[in-house]
Amino acid sequence: MAQAVVRDIDKNDPGRGLDLRKLGMWTFLGSEVFFFGALVVTHLSMRGVVAPSSSKANYDVAAVRNLFGDNVLTSILAFILLTSSLTMVLALDGVKTNNQKRFRFWLGATIACGLVFLGGQVYEFYHIVHEGVTIKNMMFGSTFFFVTGFHGTHVAVGVVWLTSLLVSAIRHPERYNAGNYMAVELGGLYWHFVDLVWVLIFTVIYLI
């Protein structure tokens, strides 16, 4: 009888029915929103500063922005990163429909997109440093490398996470199926968040 009472109560208390791990992930992402918020605010408030005493103060923001060209490279990278959100959804769909092949293929595609994005970012960093803008010599450089660097670190963590998921999926396929896909969904939540943050960073740093 008591069991029936509990079932009855749970119907009216949605909190008790939520998935434990998903709830934790959402809470963590709530905190991450504030982390990137603080990063972006720092960039917005500091990027126009020209150092009064620095000998390299003759850079102005517009000149540095020219280094990005017409944002062609960054736009392509942004497109790739956003596409990886789609591939992640397809990977989750694969595991939910018990299609191991589809699951692994799209998970691999997501990782590949992440790696291409990171490669592009490394190339961009190299290019900009080569043109004389470093994290030290001007404020725009400082905030640029700080903000995009932390985003890149998040992407890298995501790549490691999804890769370990893929390795595990290959070694223990029995652990991933339509009844047991939470590990994939959690990785996906994080990955979508990192993609979404890039929309904000891309807009704030490259477009406006």
> Which residues contact other proteins (rule: CB under 8 A)?
2-3, 5-6, 9-10, 13, 15-16, 18-21, 23-24, 27-28, 30-32, 34-35, 37-39, 42, 45-46, 49-54, 57, 135-136, 139, 142-143, 146, 164, 168, 172, 175, 179-182
Q: How far is the CB of 54 from other proteins (least distance, A)?
A: 6
The residue assigned the tokens 């998903």 is: 22
Q: Whose Cβ is closer to other proteins: residue 77's or residue 165's? A: 165
Q: Whose Cβ is closer to other proteins: residue 106's or residue 181's? A: 181
Q: Whose Cβ is closer to other proteins: residue 68's or residue 185's? A: 185
Q: How far is the CB of 106 from other proteins (least distance, A)?
A: 21
What residue type is assigned to position 16 of the chain?
A: R
Q: How far is the CB of 184 from other proteins (least distance, A)?
A: 12
How many other CB atoms are there within 10 angstroms of residue 73's CB atom? 15
Between CA 121 and CA 175 the distance in angstroms is 34
The residue assigned the tokens 């999926």 is: 169
For 194, counting Cβ atoms within 10 Å of its Cβ (0-12 exposed, 13-18 middle, 19+ buried), the class is buried
Q: Whose Cβ is closer to other proteins: residue 35's or residue 126's? A: 35
β-pair partners for 177: 180
Q: How far is the CB of 51 from other proteins (least distance, A)?
A: 4
Q: Whose Cβ is closer to other proteins: residue 26's or residue 68's? A: 26
**Of the candidates 160, 191, 172, 194, the residue with the CA atom closest to the CA atom of residue 95:** 172
Give the CA-trace dihedral at 30, 36, 39, 40, to 10 degrees: -120
Q: How far is the CB of 112 from other proteins (least distance, A)?
A: 23
Between CA 139 and CA 143 the distance in angstroms is 6
